[in-house]
Amino acid sequence: MTPRPGMAAASFARRGASRRPWPGGARTCFHEADPEAPLVRRAAAEGLGTAMLVLAAGGAGLAAERAFGPGADLILPMLALTIPAALAGLIVAFGALSGGHFNPLITGLQWLAGDRSGRCLAAYAAAQTAGAAAGGVAAALLWGVRAGAGALALPSPGWPEAASEAAASAGLMLVVFGCARSLKPETGPFAVAAWLTAAILALPSMSCANPAVALGVVLTAGPAALPASALAWFWPAQVGGALAAFACIQLLFPRRGGAGRALLLQPGDPS
């Protein structure tokens, strides 16, 4: 018996599965290879990957500060090298299992697009947030400094830093979904790393572009850390930038039949 659409949707939500939004079942980046894999395993990969990402970010800042001195000009280039490199490696390592998001913005936009259930969104976001907090605290403890000591790099965030986060987040989402909907799975990790390298160097907020990571670096210390007051600016800006990018994505990379359908427009297809 062929399942009715309502039955399929209910089963989809109950399992916390994700849909395959690409033609012919071919895998693309930022979607797991097996959408039917147990949600607890996929969420655990997201939590662990986010923890490792924040550990690398916080640890790199503290290492650079000790190597070059507080406020040294080489600290920012070191962060721009270390953080994207860690993220690219983590996406390659965990992408086939969970999609390799490590960022609630990516998971949330996939939910908006109909590619992921609400249960999966909640599990991923919770794991990403918990992992980021653990990674931030671990970085401080490993370097023997007080967790949550704050930062000197961005003591008083305001509108310029919020606008910077909106731009960084929008750019990151455009890169992520552009690679995914272009059906080029090998490009995703390295395109994301390239964008973040440029954004960290070019924008005044150091480009978290990730609400979970923003929380994690508040809980760490050193040049990569943020003051707690930054979250009130960064979180709304990151979400706003991601939503603006989503509108562009839907326009630039439309799918036949709207969100949640399995086919993307291919070159030469009628619109």
Q: Which tokens is 134 given? A: 């653990």
pLDDT score at 76 = 93
Round to whole Å and give the CA distance between 46 and 62.
Answer: 24
Would you tell me the crossing angle of helices 230-252 and 159-181 to the nearest 10 degrees?
30
Backbone φ and ψ for 56, nearest 5 degrees, come out as -65, -40
What's the pLDDT tens digit per position in 210-237?
A: 999 999 999 998 888 888 889 999 999 9
pLDDT score at 258 = 45
pLDDT score at 185 = 75
pLDDT score at 263 = 37
One-letter amino acid at 168 equals A
All domains of the chain, ordered by start, with CATH? 25-252 (1.20.1080.10)
How far apart, in Å, are the Cα atoms of 24 and each of 10, 49, 181, 230, 262? 23, 29, 13, 44, 8
Would you tell me the crossing angle of helices 118-142 and 39-68 to the nearest 10 degrees?
30
pLDDT in tens, the chain (271 residues): 444 444 444 544 555 656 655 444 556 789 999 989 999 999 999 999 999 999 999 999 999 988 998 878 899 999 999 999 999 999 999 999 999 999 999 999 999 999 999 999 999 999 999 999 999 999 999 999 887 665 555 557 889 999 999 999 999 999 999 999 887 778 999 999 999 999 999 999 989 999 999 999 999 988 888 888 899 999 999 999 999 999 999 999 887 654 444 334 344 443 3
Residues 6+ apart with CB under 8 A from 160: 204, 205
Q: Which tokens is 230 given? A: 């930054």
What's the pLDDT tens digit per position in 176-202?
A: 999 998 877 789 999 999 999 999 999
Bridge partner list, 255: 264
End-to-end CA distance of the chain: 34
Mean pLDDT, the chain, integer: 86
Round to whole Å and give the CA distance between 152 and 71.
Answer: 8
Q: Assess contact for 193 and 87: CB atoms under 8 A.
A: yes
Q: Assess contact for 67 and 222: CB atoms under 8 A.
A: no
Q: In angstroms, what is the C-alpha Rg of the chain?
A: 19
